């Protein structure tokens, strides 16, 4: 019998980890990993942190050593885009006209920055931050000191602002929300992050959007909706991302889960799309989540890291039910944090530890149960936070907020 071919479209973190899992689970057929970028798979978090600041080597961003793919007989094809899928014929087309047959296909095409739709957005000196190539350009800009306008106080904008400030640039952050990430985390945690930036000398222009970029060929100023004029040498825009669903949608695969427009490629809990034999993982996938009993799309590193391998096991016919609690981390200046949960709404946010001291755990509560938790400069507690969420047990707020009560004691079954 001829060996099977598993194709992975998107040489990303999720794609590379899926290829690794296939080999580690004994798959001895062809594994073809195709990526549009010229690079072998790499991780993006360092691109707003140590790598951007020139504090870590390029080699450290890659998912695997350069010879890994050859050693494991993974056919890595870089600089090549998958342009079409034919689910009936089980083939994919690559740019340049090549066609490949597959027995199973995994889509890990990720997401791309949302462009900002304002006058002057096409001027030189306005950058987005997604790829290693974007980062290399920005690294050079950060060498020149000067003044940068950061549009968007989400995680990408905030981390870029922190790194630029650490390198001594003058930084202005502009965001229509009154507080950073206010919609996701509420006023208390949003206020904490605003203050962190202000304390480090960032000018925070909040509650105002960008009306226009202006300049003669290259951006020289940003005009805000509150009438402020921000002079700058360059600008970085981080106003969110859009999943790259085009390839799947063109092939007739279900996208959107009925939740919102363009909300990802719909999969079941084993990460299989509406087309049998085609799977999706990472930023792209709107996957049925058995714990939350809804489709969710998670735009974080840990999701790509874990969902890729889960999809690989599903491709091999193993029993898979991807039910990890969403998790992400962020580092800004000397403030490191981890967040777990998926909380669209909550009743209150309570704190263990002092926000002023910069070491605390914030808990989002709904109906007296923990639905999200963020540990800031407090470590080795995230698993307990996840256990609390998963337990769905009402918590005693006094004990939850008391630093002397071990968190794991709140997770344990109450004694009869």
Ligand X SMILES: Cc1cc2nc3c(=O)[nH]c(=O)nc-3n(C[C@H](O)[C@H](O)[C@H](O)COP(=O)(O)OP(=O)(O)OC[C@H]3O[C@@H](n4cnc5c(N)ncnc54)[C@H](O)[C@@H]3O)c2cc1C
Residues that bind ligand X (CB under 6 A): 9-15, 34-37, 44-45, 47-48, 81-82, 108-111, 129-130, 156, 244, 247, 282-284, 299-302, 304, 328-330
Query: Considering the complex, what minimum distance in angstroms separates the CB of residue 42 from ligand X?
Result: 8
Toward ligand X, which CB reaches closer, 58 or 392? Answer: 58
Complex with ligand X: residue 254 or 302, whichever CB lies closer? 302
Q: Tokens in use for 81?
A: 């885009």
CB of 393 to ligand X, least distance (A): 27
CB of residue 396 vs ligand X: minimum separation in angstroms? 31
Angle at 57 between CA 56 and CA 60, to 5 degrees: 95
CB of 108 to ligand X, least distance (A): 5
Which is nearer to ligand X, 105 or 395 (by Cβ)? 105
Euclidean distance between CA atoms 230 and 210, whole angstroms: 10
Kindly report the three-state secondary structure assignment for every residue of 136-158: HHHHHHHHCCCEEEEECCCHHHH
In the bound complex, what is the minimum distance in angstroms from residue 158's beta carbon to ligand X? Answer: 10
Looking at beta carbons, which residue is closest to ligand X?
A: 110
| Long-range CB contact pairs, 322-325, < 8 A, 24+ | 322/269, 322/270, 322/271, 322/287, 322/289, 323/269, 323/289, 323/290, 323/291, 325/291, 325/386, 325/389, 325/390
Look up tokens 């909380």; give the residue.
Answer: 343
User: For residues 282 and 341, which CB has a smaller minimum distance to ligand X in the complex?
Assistant: 282
Calpha distance 186→62 (Å, rounded) = 35
Check if the beta carbon of residue 123 is closer than 8 Å to that of residue 55: no
Distances (CA, A) of 168 to 129, 201, 309: 20, 10, 40
In angstroms, the Cα distances linking 28 to 177, 277, 292 are 51, 18, 35
What is the closest distance, in whole angstroms, from the C-beta atom of residue 403 to ligand X in the complex? 26
- Nearest to ligand X of 82, 320 (CB atom): 82
**Nearer to ligand X (CB atom), residue 35 or residue 125:** 35
Nearer to ligand X, 129 or 388 (CB): 129
**Nearest-approach distance from CB 228 to ligand X, in angstroms:** 27
Among residues 240 and 394, whose Cβ is nearest to ligand X? 240
Rounded to whole angstroms, the Cα distance separating 295 from 281 reads 13
CB proximity list for 16: less than 8 A, separation 6 or greater: 33, 40, 41, 63, 64, 308
- SS3 assignment, position 384: helix
Q: How far is the CB of 227 from ligand X (least distance, A)?
A: 31
């Amino acid at each position: 019998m001829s060996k099977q071919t598993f194709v992975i479209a998107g040489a990303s973190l999720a794609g590379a980890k899926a290829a690794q899992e296939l080999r580690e689970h004994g798959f001895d057929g062809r594994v073809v990993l195709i990526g549009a970028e010229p690079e072998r798979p790499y991780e993006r978090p360092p691109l707003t942190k140590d790598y951007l600041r020139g504090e870590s080597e390029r080699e450290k961003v890659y998912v695997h050593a350069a010879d890994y793919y050859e050693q494991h007989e993974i056919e890595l094809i870089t600089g090549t885009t998958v342009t079409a899928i034919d689910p009936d014929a089980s083939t994919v087309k690559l740019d340049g006209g090549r066609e490949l047959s597959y027995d199973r296909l995994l889509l890990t095409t990720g997401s791309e920055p949302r462009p900002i739709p304002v006058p002057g957005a096409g001027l030189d000196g306005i950058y987005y931050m997604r790829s290693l190539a974007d980062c290399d350009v920005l690294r050079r800009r950060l060498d020149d000191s000067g003044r940068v306008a950061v549009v968007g106080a989400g995680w990408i904008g905030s981390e870029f602002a922190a790194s630029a400030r650490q390198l001594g640039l003058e930084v202005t952050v502009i965001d229509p929300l009154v507080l950073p990430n206010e919609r996701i985390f509420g006023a208390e945690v949003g206020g904490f992050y605003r203050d962190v930036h202000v304390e480090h000398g960032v000018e925070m222009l909040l509650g105002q959007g960008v009306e226009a970029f202006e300049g003669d060929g290259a951006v020289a100023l940003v005009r805000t909706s509150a009438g402020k004029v921000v002079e700058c040498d360059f600008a970085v825009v981080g106003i969110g991302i859009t999943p790259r669903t085009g390839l799947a949608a063109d092939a007739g695969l279900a996208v959107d889960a009925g939740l919102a427009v363009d909300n990802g490629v719909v999969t079941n809990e084993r990460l299989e799309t509406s087309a049998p034999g085609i799977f999706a993982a990472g930023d792209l996938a709107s996957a049925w989540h058995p714990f939350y009993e809804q489709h969710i799309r998670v735009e974080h590193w840990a999701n790509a890291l874990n969902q890729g391998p889960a999809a690989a096991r599903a491709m091999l016919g193993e029993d898979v039910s991807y039910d990890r609690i969403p998790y992400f981390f962020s580092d800004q200046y000397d403030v490191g944090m981890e967040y777990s949960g998926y909380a669209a709404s909550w009743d209150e946010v309570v704190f263990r530890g002092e926000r002023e001291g910069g070491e605390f755990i914030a808990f989002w509560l709904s109906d007296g149960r923990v639905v999200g938790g963020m540990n800031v400069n407090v470590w080795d507690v995230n698993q307990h936070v996840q256990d609390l969420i998963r337990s769905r047990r009402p918590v005693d707020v006094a004990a939850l907020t008391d630093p002397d009560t071990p968190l794991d004691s709140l997770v344990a079954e109450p004694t009869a």
